[in-house]
C-alpha cells in the first residue's frame, strides 16, 4: 500500500508518495493553496489508494490543533503530526540515532524529540523550543507571546531585522547570520536542552536550518555546555524530510 506524506509549512507545502521509494509529487505556496490542500490530498489518496499523514507547523495535543501561528489558516485532517516531529523521526531513521533532538528552522523554529527511537510528545507539545522566552527586548512573536526565540531567529524574524530573506543573506555573506543575537540565543537554548536530555545528536533541518554551518553551530553551542554533554551536530540537507517522515508515520503508525 502506498503512503502519502504532506508537509504544510508556514511558507511552502510539499507532498511525497512513499511506495518502496519516495516520489516528490507537489510543491506549492501554502498561502496560495491552503484552502485547496484537503481536496488535493483527498484526490491523491484516491488516485494512489494511499493512506496519508499530515505534518503541520502547529501545536497539537490529543490530535487537536491548539495553535498554528505560522499558518494562514487552520485546516483539519484525520491523521496529523507536528512537522518538527516528522522531521526528527525521519532524521533518526536516516542517521541511526535513538536519542535525538531535531531542530527545524524555516518560517519559524520547531523542534522534535526522539527518545529510545520513538517520538516523545509529553502532553503533546514537547519540543516547542521556538516559543521559549529568551530575550527582554519586547519583540512580539507571531503566536502572541513576547521575546520568544522565534522572534529573534525564525525566518520571519530574520527578514524583519535585516530587511532580507535568509536565502539572500546566505548567498551574499552568511557570516551575517552567525553574528546575529538570535543565532547566539539559539545555541544557548540547544545547549540547555542537551544538558537536560543528554542527546546523542542534534540535527538541524528546514530551509534555513539545513544551510547553517555545523562547525559554526558546534562553536556556538560549546560556549554554553559542559564538554561531556556535547552532542554530535548534524545538518540534514533534505528539504523533503518532513514530508518523508510523515509518510513513514502513515505507514508505521504513531
pTM score of the predicted model: 0.94
pLDDT at 244 over 70: yes
From-to residues of CATH 3.30.420.40 in the chain? 3-85+240-252, 91-235
What are the φ/ψ torsions at residue 16 (nearest 5 degrees)? -120, 155
DSSP category for residue 133: B
pLDDT at 58 over 80: yes
SS3 27: strand
What's the chain's average pLDDT? Answer: 94
The closest of 45, 4, 9 to 24, measured between CA atoms, is 4
Please write the tens of the pLDDT for every residue from 187-207: 999 999 999 999 999 999 999
Please write the tens of the pLDDT for every residue from 85-131: 999 999 999 999 999 999 999 999 999 999 999 999 999 999 999 99
The reply to whether CATH 3.30.420.40 applies to domain 91-235 is yes
Q: What is the pLDDT of residue 254?
A: 67
| Long-range residue pairs from 12-15, CB within 8 A, at least 24 positions apart, any chain | 12/207, 13/37, 14/239, 14/240, 14/242, 14/243, 15/40, 15/41, 15/44, 15/243
Q: What class does CATH assign to 3-85+240-252?
A: alpha beta
Amino acid at each position: 500500500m502506498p503512503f502519502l506524506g504532506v508537509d504544510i509549512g508556514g511558507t511552502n507545502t510539499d507532498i511525497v508518495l512513499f511506495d518502496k521509494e519516495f516520489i516528490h509529487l507537489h510543491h506549492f505556496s501554502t498561502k496560495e493553496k491552503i484552502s485547496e490542500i484537503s481536496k488535493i490530498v483527498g484526490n491523491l489518496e484516491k488516485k494512489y489508494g494511499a493512506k496519508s499523514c499530515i505534518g503541520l507547523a502547529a501545536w497539537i495535543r490529543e490530535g487537536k490543533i491548539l495553535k498554528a501561528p505560522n499558518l494562514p489558516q487552520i485546516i483539519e485532517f484525520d491523521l496529523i503530526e507536528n512537522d518538527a516531529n516528522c522531521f526528527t523521526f525521519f532524521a533518526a531513521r536516516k542517521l541511526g540515532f535513538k536519542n535525538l533532538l531535531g531542530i527545524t528552522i524555516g518560517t519559524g523554529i520547531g523542534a522534535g524529540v526522539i527518545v529510545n527511537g520513538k517520538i516523545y510528545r509529553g502532553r503533546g507539545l514537547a519540543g516547542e523550543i521556538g516559543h521559549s522566552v529568551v530575550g527582554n527586548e519586547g519583540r512580539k512573536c507571531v503566536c502572541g507571546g513576547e521575546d520568544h526565540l522565534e522572534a529573534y531567529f525564525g525566518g520571519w524574524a530574520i527578514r524583519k531585522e535585516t530587511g532580507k530573506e535568509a536565502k539572500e543573506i546566505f548567498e551574499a555573506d552568511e557570516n551575517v547570520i552567525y553574528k546575529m543575537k538570535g543565532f547566539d540565543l539559539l545555541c544557548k537554548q540547544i545547549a540547555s536542552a542537551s544538558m537536560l536530555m543528554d542527546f546523542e545528536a542534534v540535527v538541524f533541518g528546514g530551509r534555513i536550518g539545513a544551510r547553517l554551518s555545523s562547525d559554526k553551530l558546534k562553536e556556538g553551542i560549546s560556549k554554553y555546555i559542559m564538554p561531556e554533554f556535547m552532542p554530535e551536530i548534524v545538518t540534514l540537507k533534505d528539504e523533503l524530510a518532513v514530508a518523508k517522515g510523515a509518510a513513514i508515520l502513515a505507514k508505521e503508525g504513531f
